[in-house]
Amino acid sequence: MSNKPVNHARAAEHFLEDAPHLQFHDERLWDMRQKRDGQMHMLPEWQDLREEASRIKEHTLSRLPEYLEQFEENAKKNGIHVHWARDGAEHNRIVGEILKAHNARNLIKSKSMVTEECDMRPYLEKQGVTVTETDLGERIQQLDDQLPSHIVVPAVHKLTSDVAKIFAKDYHTDPNIRDPHLLAEAQRQAARPVILHADAGMTGGNFVVAETGTFVVCTNEGNADLSATVPNLHIATIGIERLVPRMADLGVFIRLLSRSALGSPITQYTTHFRGPQKGGEMHVVLVDNGRSARLGMEDFWTSLKCIRCGACMNTCPVYRRSGGLSYGAVYSGPIGAIIDPTFNERKYSTLPYASTLNGSCTNVCPVKINIHEQLYKWRRVLVQHHEMPFVKREIMHMAGKLMGQPKMYRAAIKMTEVSLGSMPRFVLYNWLNPWGKHRENPHPVKQTFNDWYRKNREKAKPAAASETKK
Binds other proteins by CB under 8 A, chosen from 2, 422, 442, 458: 442
DSSP 277: P
CB of 156 to other proteins, least distance (A): 8
CB of 74 to other proteins, least distance (A): 10
Measured CA distances, 47 to 34, 43, 44, 331 (Å):
17, 9, 8, 26
Q: How many helices (H) and strands (E) does the chain have?
A: 22, 10
Site for other proteins in 212-271 (CB under 8 A): 212, 214, 220-223, 225-226, 228-232, 240, 245-252, 254-255, 262, 264-271
Is residue 37 at the binding interface for other proteins, with CB under 8 A as the rule?
yes
CB of 90 to other proteins, least distance (A): 6
Is residue 180 at the binding interface for other proteins, with CB under 8 A as the rule?
yes
The contacts of residue 333 (CB under 8 Å, 6+ apart) are 150, 151, 310, 312, 313, 316, 319, 324, 327, 361
Structure-derived torsion over alpha carbons of residues 241, 358, 32, 314, reported in degrees to the nearest 10: -50
Binds other proteins by CB under 8 A, chosen from 77, 100, 172, 397: 397
CB of 129 to other proteins, least distance (A): 20
Is residue 317 at the binding interface for other proteins, with CB under 8 A as the rule?
yes
Site for other proteins in 349-388 (CB under 8 A): 352-360, 362-364, 372, 376, 378-383, 388
Label residue 445 left, alpha or beta by phi (over 0 means left) and psi (-120 to 50 means alpha): beta
Binds other proteins by CB under 8 A, chosen from 100, 126, 393, 425: 393
Q: Which of 147, 146, 115 is nearest to 131 (CA)?
A: 115
Contact (Cβ atoms closer than 8 angstroms) between residue 113 and residue 331: yes
DSSP 193: H
Binds other proteins by CB under 8 A, chosen from 113, 159, 194, 427: 159
Phi, psi (degrees; rounded to nearest 5) at 443:
-80, 140
Site for other proteins in 11-30 (CB under 8 A): 12-13, 16, 22, 24, 26, 28, 30
What does R_g of the chain's alpha carbons equal in angstroms?
26
Is residue 147 at the binding interface for other proteins, with CB under 8 A as the rule?
no
CB atoms within 10 A of CB 22: 17
Instruction: Point out which span in 121-129, 168-176, 337-345, 442-450 binds other proteins (CB under 8 A).
Output: 442-450
Is residue 142 at the binding interface for other proteins, with CB under 8 A as the rule?
no
Contact (Cβ atoms closer than 8 angstroms) between residue 124 and residue 100: no
CB of 128 or CB of 261, closer to other proteins: 261
Measured CA distances, 271 to 79, 218, 309 (Å):
18, 6, 17
Contact (Cβ atoms closer than 8 angstroms) between residue 392 and residue 431: yes
Residues found in the chain: 470
Binds other proteins by CB under 8 A, chosen from 45, 73, 125, 174: 45
Is residue 459 at the binding interface for other proteins, with CB under 8 A as the rule?
yes
Measured CA distances, 59 to 64, 205, 287, 348 (Å):
8, 20, 20, 29
Tell me, residue by residue from 185 to 214, as one string, x for binding to other proteins by CB under 8 A and - for no binding: --xx--xx---x---------------x-x
Is residue 325 at the binding interface for other proteins, with CB under 8 A as the rule?
no
Binds other proteins by CB under 8 A, chosen from 5, 8, 98, 109: 8
CB of 128 or CB of 188, closer to other proteins: 188
Is residue 165 at the binding interface for other proteins, with CB under 8 A as the rule?
no
Site for other proteins in 280-309 (CB under 8 A): 286, 288, 292-293, 295-296, 301
CB of 208 to other proteins, least distance (A): 14
CB of 146 or CB of 212, closer to other proteins: 212
CB of 296 to other proteins, least distance (A): 3
Is residue 175 at the binding interface for other proteins, with CB under 8 A as the rule?
no
3-state SS assignment for residue 217: strand
Distance CA 48, CA 46 (A): 5
Q: Alpha helices, DSSP H only, in 355-466?
A: 360-364, 371-384, 390-403, 406-414, 425-432, 449-456
CB of 115 to other proteins, least distance (A): 17
Distance CA 445, CA 459 (A): 24
Query: How big is the site for other proteins, counted in residues (CB under 8 A)?
Result: 183
User: What is the per-residue DSSP string for 31-66?
Assistant: HHHHHHHHHHHH-TTHHHHHHHHHHHHHHHHHTHHH
CB of 125 to other proteins, least distance (A): 22
Tell me, residue by residue from 402 to 441, as one string, x for binding to other proteins by CB under 8 A and - for no binding: xxxxxx-x---x-----------------xx-xxxxxxxx
Binds other proteins by CB under 8 A, chosen from 102, 105, 274, 346: 274
Is residue 99 at the binding interface for other proteins, with CB under 8 A as the rule?
no
